[in-house]
Amino acid sequence: MVRSGASCLRVLVMACIVMQVLAIRQMEMEASSGGSRVAAFALGSFWRGEAVFGCLPGVVRTRAGYAGGAKVNPDYHSVGDHAEAVEVEYDPSVIPFERLLEVFWASHDPSQVFGQGPDVGAQYRSVIFTQSGEEGEVASRSKEAEQVRLGDRSEVVTEVQPLGVFYPAEAEHQKFELRRKPQLLQLLGEISDEELTSSVLATKLNGYAADLCPENMKKLLDTKVRPFMQPRPSFQQIVSF
C-alpha cells in the first residue's frame, strides 16, 4: 500500500515539474521579440554586467564575452588586451540606446582606472562599444554629460570605441548569477549550455537572481516564479505522515 502510494506520489511530483516547465516555456515565448538591435558594454566583471542589463524591459538577450582587443580567440585565462564585456540584444521601440547608456553609467564607477571595484586589471576597464558613427556620437555626448554630472570630483575614464569582434565567453560564464541559483535554473527544465546562453527567459532570470531587476519587472517575475520556489516537503516526510 505504501509502495502504491509512493508510486502515485512520484507521478504527481513529475507532473508538477512538467507543468512548471511548460509554464516557464510559455513565459519564454511571450518574452520573444523581433526587430532587435545589439549593443555592447564593458563595466567590470561580465558576470555582473550581464545581470545588470538582463532584467530591463526591452532587453531580449545578453551574452558575456570579450571585446576591444586584438587577440584572436581570447578566453578567461588568456584575455590578452580585451575587456570583459556584455553583448545586449534589445528592442529599440521599448528601450532606446540612450536608456542603456543611463543604466551603464549608473551600474559602475566610470572614474576607476585599471579595474572595477575589487577586480583589478585592464580586462575590467570601462568601455562603450559602438557600431556606427551615430552611436559613437550619442555615446560621446553621454560621456560628456556624465563628466558634467561628476564635476571636478573625478574624471570619467570610460573609452568609446568601435566594437570590432565580440568573442562569446565560455559556457560556464554565461548567465553566471542564474547558475548560482539552482532553484531558479531548474525552472528552465533540461536545457543545454547553448540554449541557456541564448534563452530570453534565462536572460531575465539572470538579472532576477542577482536582484538587479527594476521594481516593475521584479514584481512581474515574482508572481511567475515564487509559486515554484516554495519549499516542498520531502518524499519521506509525505510517505511517513
What pLDDT, in 10s, does the model give residues 21-67?
Answer: 445 455 545 445 468 999 999 999 999 999 999 999 999 999 999 99
Residue 208 lies in a domain: yes
Residue 14 lies in a domain: no
Indicate the number of domains in the chain: 1
Per DSSP, 52 falls in state: H
The H or E element spanning position 100 is helix 97-106
Return the pLDDT at 230: 65
Q: Dihedral angle at the C-alpha atoms of 122, 123, 125, 131, nearest 10 degrees? A: 130
Q: CB of 203 within 8 A of CB of 90?
A: no
| pLDDT given for residue 226 in this prediction | 79
Q: Nearest CA to 50 among 33, 35, 65?
A: 65
Q: For residue 4, what pLDDT is reported?
A: 54
List, for residues 174-212, the tens digit of each pLDDT value.
999 999 999 899 889 899 999 999 999 999 999 999 999
Q: Which domain holds residue 109?
A: 33-224
Q: What is the pLDDT of residue 128?
A: 99
Would strands 59-67 and 83-90 be described as parallel, antiparallel, or unpaired? Answer: antiparallel
Q: Which residue has the higher pLDDT, 161 or 29?
A: 161
68 occurs within a structural domain: yes
* Phi–psi pair at 201, nearest 5 degrees: -70, -40
CATH of the domain at 135: 3.30.1060.10
User: How many whole angstroms from its chain centre is CA 102?
Assistant: 17
Tell me, rounded to whole angstroms, the distance of Cα 86 from its chain centroid: 8
In a domain, 234, yes or no: no
Is residue 182 in some structural domain? Answer: yes
Q: Which three cell numbers stand for residue 1?
A: 500500500
